[in-house]
Chains A and B, each alone.
Chain A
């Protein structure tokens, strides 16, 4: 909730700041800036570069701030670290009371610390010392060294002078103390707002992991091999899917028999998410490469079939008529009119198919694989290696995004007439 509020605040704040800065600068005078009606005119809406940059920075900033990252200049309060102390009051059976101090050294997880040295102190209750990792809590057997302990009938009745009964909690400086039902104080230092690395490691840990795994590898394969295998499976599956799907789509667009024959199959398979096929493919083809490629083939197949089919149906009849009147044969019409005319649709389909295949391969690897991006994060999650999991997710996202950008570039280069018929 706090994070959401902060995020919205950054969103609004950045907008105001950028507007303020921009209004100071010279105004652009391109065509769009001269339009007076922009609301509702989609073509006038261009992604604001500043907003994109701030957006990415904000995500990392929040991530850094909530993980105590050294990359982030601001931090939300972290967990308490240092020496904390509170006093407890023990009451013996005869009603006599004595105070003693507990000193707890709270240290960042992963560091070695020594227990603080304390004087035993006066009275039958003796001072105690303990060490504790940040974000943890600990039972402190305060009666351990007391002259009259629990076994002799003494009870803890107050913490820092505030009366306490078993099950109750008392706030002390830099934390809380709860008395267990058996009467032992449980100390929990202040947690702060930061996330424990095991839930969310700071960005630099993740970056360090990328470097580490890129060099040393993980689970017998280097990072490049993991990602490369995932990508290879996608490309192979997509390739076969397109190889079969595009001609099939053309046939369905051109022949009534083909359309009648395959339409029920295509329409049935289309709404089945490829993920739902994973179990069946594993049963049939095992968890090896063949199974994965069959799965990705199926994921790409229907998308490419439908794209090719609608590419054929989308051809303007006057173009086909014109070609016939210019003496083209059926084969020439297919090659020079129908195929180029369907390319925009096929490319759109290919972009969708690539996205679906990439998502499917990761999911398939999560289920079962020896190597691959999905397998990497699955194994890491079993060992609670959150930094590897996050690293994997980021790399999967970056690669998926990269594929889409490459496809869009290829599209602009190969079919410049798209949308301008």
Chain B
């Protein structure tokens, strides 16, 4: 079992003016294979930092990350990343973007073509195979990014606000797609979002982080992701527990934001 272990990770940024930001403090998490974890938290609480550490783009000041017992020391194909936007290669068409991972492994074209065709079918872009990236809408681009990540068959998929730039309708469709892919592929997924609703809908586990220093504030286990697979997500939102949970988490985040503001005012005074 290749579970993802985040072991007592801390991250401090030393700023050039001599001050330091404690972006993460003693974060410990164990994410089992096939789990979908949503991460919520006020702006600046270290979500992106945590994801970048897991992806291997940043080395933590202390603590370790390990995947399936192997310590992470840099980026690798077993941990795929879906960015908010703008991380597609616009000099390649849709097919070439999706086939990027397989091509880097020198997979023969006959083999990679099958993977690409299948994934484009799954994300509903079969007819756009030869299109240039800049000819696609934002939602389509995110689907390409998802397919590109899946084509590499990673063990863990890391998503930093992958749907943040999309309109409400496209976003809902994409949420359904994420759930579907999660169930079909059985991948471990960590998904950062700013939307409480999205976190509730997609997060089998839901992590609420608190800022200054960035740390885990509270963790939930939720039934909605299981319910949402292949179902109408609007129906899920009508679930009797959905509304109360949303209110609970919203007010929690509000309290944190207010605390930040209060502290900022104190600092100003």
Contact = CB atoms under 8 A, between A and B. Distances in A.
A264 interface: no
Contacts of A321: 55, 57, 75, 81, 83, 87
A322 interface: yes
Nearest to B148: A326
Contacts of B80: 325-326
Nearest to A327: B77
A416 B133 CA distance: 11
Given A322-B81, A326-B148, A420 B90 contact: yes
Interface string A336-373: 11001101000000000000000000000000000000
Given A321-B81, A417-B134, A328 B104 contact: yes
Interface in B95-109: 100-101, 104-105
Contacts of A420: 90, 134
A346 to B, nearest CB: 13
Interface string B61-80: 00000000000001111011
Contacts of B89: 319, 323, 336-337, 340-341
Interface string A169-203: 00000000000000000000000000000000000
A340 B91 CA distance: 7
B177 interface: no
A416 B135 CA distance: 11
B12 to A, nearest CB: 21
Contacts of B16: none
A329 interface: yes
B180 to A, nearest CB: 22
A332 B75 CA distance: 14
Given A332-B104, A417-B132, A327 B87 contact: no
Contact of B87 (A316, A340, A416): A316
B18 interface: no
B193 interface: no
A421 B75 contact: no
B244 interface: no
A254 B55 CA distance: 22
B90 A326 contact: no
Nearest to B160: A318
A210 to B, nearest CB: 43
Interface size bracket, B side: 20 to 34
Nearest to B78: A327
A415 interface: yes
B83 A415 contact: no
A281 B108 CA distance: 53
B152 interface: yes
A324 interface: yes
A325 B91 contact: no
A409 B81 CA distance: 37
B181 to A, nearest CB: 17
Nearest to B79: A325
Contacts of A343: 91
B105 A327 contact: yes
B93 to A, nearest CB: 10
A337 B92 CA distance: 10
Given A325-B75, A325-B81, A415 B91 contact: yes
Contacts of A340: 89, 91
B114 interface: no
B86 interface: yes
B104 A329 contact: yes
Contact of A327 (B83, B90, B152): B152
A325 B104 contact: no
Contacts of B88: 319, 322
Contact of A326 (B57, B86, B100): B100
B77 A341 contact: no
A335 to B, nearest CB: 10
Nearest to A323: B100
Contacts of B83: 318, 321-322
Nearest to A329: B104
Interface string B151-180: 010100010000000000000000000000
Contacts of A417: 90-91, 132-134
Interface in A56-100: none
Contacts of A341: 89, 91
Contacts of B158: 325
Contacts of A415: 91
9 contacts: A319-B89, A322-B87, A324-B76, A325-B149, A326-B148, A326-B152, A328-B104, A417-B90, A420-B134
Given A325-B77, A326-B101, 6 more contacts: A318-B86, A321-B55, A322-B83, A323-B100, A325-B75, A326-B100
Top 3 closest pairs, chain A to chain B, by CB:
A327-B77, A324-B75, A420-B134
